[in-house]
Every structure is written in structure tokens, then in C-alpha cells.
A and B are shown apart, each in its own frame.
Chain A
């Protein structure tokens, strides 16, 4: 897949999420924009999936541990054809399945998340099953950096290496922020690389908003008997200047002015830089 196409998709999806949050008045804006590039790389290039057959037994599994960044996930799943664009419009509405966290009543969602610190353990179970049943599918999970404070993460990290789960790929959206402020102020989660390495993991560190780095990292995970971690250094709120690197944008909804300014900016970029980008 051409990197330029993926970058185009990322821009398109950022615009979509921005609009979705504005229209519905709810959403985790900064968290979505932070990991948009990672989800695009996964869903448009890396994951072996078939939207027409969401339960295909050999599909790769994606479990979004930072479940709150759900608006980007819903948008991507709709765009991939797991469900209709019309259904996407029910996000945030009364009695919808497209709620504020992943919900596995919806095609394409493996597991319900939302309570942080669950995804890695679940991924260990899913990856372990592949080992037990001799399946080739890979299991991916996306975590937050603030989330790393949950003790359950480290229980899972230990188990993943104990069971030699080199079919498991953890990704940390390392944007340096959580709700209250920076990780540094709230709970020091520095040296993640050394921490996971000490737990026996292969670790790659990349620019998590750089499409080719993400794709390369995800495609070059090692098959050496150890689980794989990609620490993706990202900018929370990436792509909308007012929201970038600001903790208060974790789940802030844009004002009309902010909404319109960013939409104009998205349109300019989509029309300009990507005019020749193939669709």
C-alpha cells in the first residue's frame, strides 16, 4: 500500500472524527487524533481481515485497550465496510450500538473495552490460543501511556513472555498526556522501553504519527520467541493545532469556531497536498 494513500486516509478520518465529535457533542478528541495514524496503518495495510466475514477464523485480532478512542475506531470500521455509513451516524444517539467505547455487538469489534488495563491480558489469551491451536493469526493491542499505571498490564507483560507469544504485538500510544496532565506529573511512566525489555519483550520505538515508520515497525516484528512492543511517540490531538499536546483536549468537544476553522484546514489539506493522491 502506498504511504501517500495511507496518509490521505488518515487525514480524511481525522476530519470525519472531528465532525463526528462536534455533531454528537461527545468524544475523546485528543485521544482519537493521537492514534489515528496507527489505526490507519493497521486497518488499511497491516491487519489480515475481511469486513465481509468479520468472524473469519484466520483473521488477525485487534483489541483496543484504550477503548475511549472509539470515534476513530467506529469511523475506520465503517469506512472498511464492517457496517454502513448510515449506522455510523447513530454514534452517540439514543439506543445505539455505537456507544462511547468498543462494543462487540458490532461487527469488527472483538472485545468490549473501556476499563483501562484489560486489553493486554485479553490479547495474551487470544495469542495463546493461536499457539495452542497452531494458527497463524497475529494479535494486536493498542494501549495508552497513562494506562501503563494499571498493575494488570504488568501481569500480562510477564505472562506474554512466559508463554513466548511472539505472535502478540502491543502498541503504546505514547503521547505523554492523560486526563489530568502529563504522565510525568500524574504517574511517571518513563523508560517504557527498558521496562518492557526487562520483561523480555522486543521493543521498537518510532514516531507514531509517521506513516512509513508505523508500517515498517508493524511489518518488521520479530518472530524470536518474545512478544513485540511498538512504542509510538505521538502528539495527542495531532492534526488540529488548538488541540495538539494539550491535556484538556482529552475529551473536549470543539466550539463552533474551532470546528469550522479545523474543517477548513482539513479541506485545504485534502484538496491541496493530496490532490494527486490516489484514492
Chain B
């Protein structure tokens, strides 16, 4: 793990990869809903005006049009704020993408609590719950620039529908250029013998910080990067839920229906570990800067480490 590097935003990396891919493959299309600026896609739009389709503020239409294009053999990436893409358009996702099996890549930008001071209308803290319940839809959350790159290279050639959630933060580097990205195969970022902490996307950083705090108290925690929420890496979960008495998950999502729920569904099928889920409580999130809100809900490395200590020592 390279530390203290400034890192990059997932959106910028996505834009770069899409530019490379669109150059090679004229079937690649990007669709936006008055969202290209917040998606960091302006350089793409300037380079490939013929390979970007603007639908205006109409997220249902965005997904429907994408499905129509995909059914005609194109490779559309529909890019829109996660809150609207996964809620406003969810029936189009279910019927036109999943059910009709169209190769649409749904990219939810400004995901989770990115729009922390704009209210619940703009938070996407239920997107995993709702997309996870839809069949025939892979779900990904990249944690740094290198993984984002590999993920979008995969997406550009994959024929399966997918939902990818990214945020607005500058992501600290977790990997380097040599990272391998295998969909559905989680990565162990750090080994540990006492417990395991599972994170995904932007929260992986918090998981790593928590592990560092724990290390100071002599607790050795394994950190797992669950970049694919679906299909979940059952094998790894089976392994850790046998190996440890207690495991933990951290997510920028409601404690209902997200990463923690996905893990617990598997653990309940035969693991011996208990699972504690760290995430957003079942209420409209308070307003503030993103990190203030995280802190308020106890979602910092230090606060999580303290909770973990309490639970492990009880």
C-alpha cells in the first residue's frame, strides 16, 4: 500500500478509460442526463461528440434509451447521479436492462453521501439494497485510481449489465499499476490474525485506518476490499467466517441491504463468525460536510477501531 499519495478521483479515471476505449471501439457510447460535468466527462464529450448522447434531466429516459441502444448492439454507459439513476429509473433498470438482458453499464456518480449537505433527495444510501435484489446485474465499487482503471477496462469489453457506484472524493491509492481486477474475487489488502474488516469503494480507506489504529493496540485485523458487491465472493466470506469469531463490515450505505447485509446473508448460511455492520442508520442522514457526517455516525478509522476493540474485548 503506497501511503500519503494524493491519489485521484474515480470520475477522472473513468473519463480517461472511456476515451481510450471509445477510440478503439465505436460502439462505446456515453449517455448523460445534464450530468457530464459532475461526472468529469467533459474531456470525453469534447473528444467524442459523436459518441455521447445527452438526454437532459430525464433519468428514466436515460436508462430506456440506453437499453434500446444496447439491444441494437451498442455499448452504452449511462452516467447519472447515483441517487436518481437507481431510484427514479429503477423500473427501467429492472425491466429494460436486467430482464431484457441489455448490455447497459449504469454508472452512479456522486454516490453514497457525496452530496452530504443536499439532503436525502441527493443521497444514495439505498442504491446497493435495491440493485442487489435485481438479478442479472453485476455491482461494483472501486476504491482507488488503479482499480477504477482496471474495472472500466473490464466493463468496456464485458457483455453483462452492471451498476458501478463512484463518489466525488479524491481516492487515496490502495494499489499500483499491477493490480489485478477479477470481478467477483475480493482482494485482501492487509493480512491479520485476530479479525477481518470488509470495506468497499470509498470506505476501504476507513477500514485501513481502523486497522492501523487497532495495530497500535496489538490487534491484527485483515482488511478485505470487496470491490464486487455482486456476485459476492462467497468463498472468501466462508473462509473468514470460519477463521474468526467476529468480523466487521463498513459501508457508505444504509445498514440495511448493502454490503453488510450481503455478507451476513452468506455468513448466516454456515459461518461461525458474528458480524457487526458499520454504516448509516435508518434515518435521513444529517447535513454537513461529508467527513463531518461520517464522524457523526461513527464512521472514522479511530471511532470504528474503538468500537471493534469494545466488541472484541466483551
A interface residues, Cβ below 8 angstroms from B: 26, 67, 92-97, 99-101, 103, 112-117, 146-147, 149-151, 178-180, 185-187, 189
Contact = CB atoms under 8 A, between A and B. Distances in A.
Contact of A101 (B32, B57, B122): B122
Contacts of B286: 95
Contacts of B36: 180
A150 B286 CA distance: 28
Contact of A147 (B57, B118, B122): B57
Contacts of A97: 287
B289 A101 contact: no
A115 B118 CA distance: 10
A25 B60 CA distance: 32
A42 B292 CA distance: 36
A113 B60 CA distance: 18
Interface of B is mostly: loop
A95 B58 contact: no
Interface of A is mostly: loop
A187 B54 CA distance: 7
Contact of A150 (B57, B121, B122, B287): B57
B289 A150 contact: no
25 contacts: A67-B121, A95-B287, A97-B287, A99-B118, A100-B119, A101-B119, A112-B120, A112-B121, A113-B121, A114-B121, A114-B122, A115-B84, A115-B122, A146-B34, A146-B56, A149-B55, A151-B58, A178-B56, A178-B57, A179-B34, A180-B32, A180-B34, A187-B55, A187-B56, A189-B56
Given A99-B287, A179-B34, A92 B58 contact: no
Nearest to B42: A180
The 3 closest A-B pairs by CB, nearest first: A187-B56, A114-B121, A149-B56
B243 interface: no
Contacts of B60: 151
Interface residues of B, number: 30
Given A95-B286, A101-B118, A115-B122, 13 more contacts: A26-B117, A94-B292, A113-B121, A115-B83, A117-B57, A146-B56, A151-B61, A178-B34, A178-B57, A179-B34, A180-B32, A187-B55, A187-B56
B53 to A, nearest CB: 11
Given A95-B288, A114-B118, A187 B83 contact: no
B270 interface: no
A113 B286 CA distance: 16
A117 B34 CA distance: 14
Contacts of A147: 57
B88 interface: yes
Interface string B243-287: 000000000000000000000000000000000000000000011
A189 B117 CA distance: 30
Nearest to B118: A100
Contact of A116 (B37, B57, B120): B57
B43 to A, nearest CB: 14
Contacts of A95: 286-288, 296
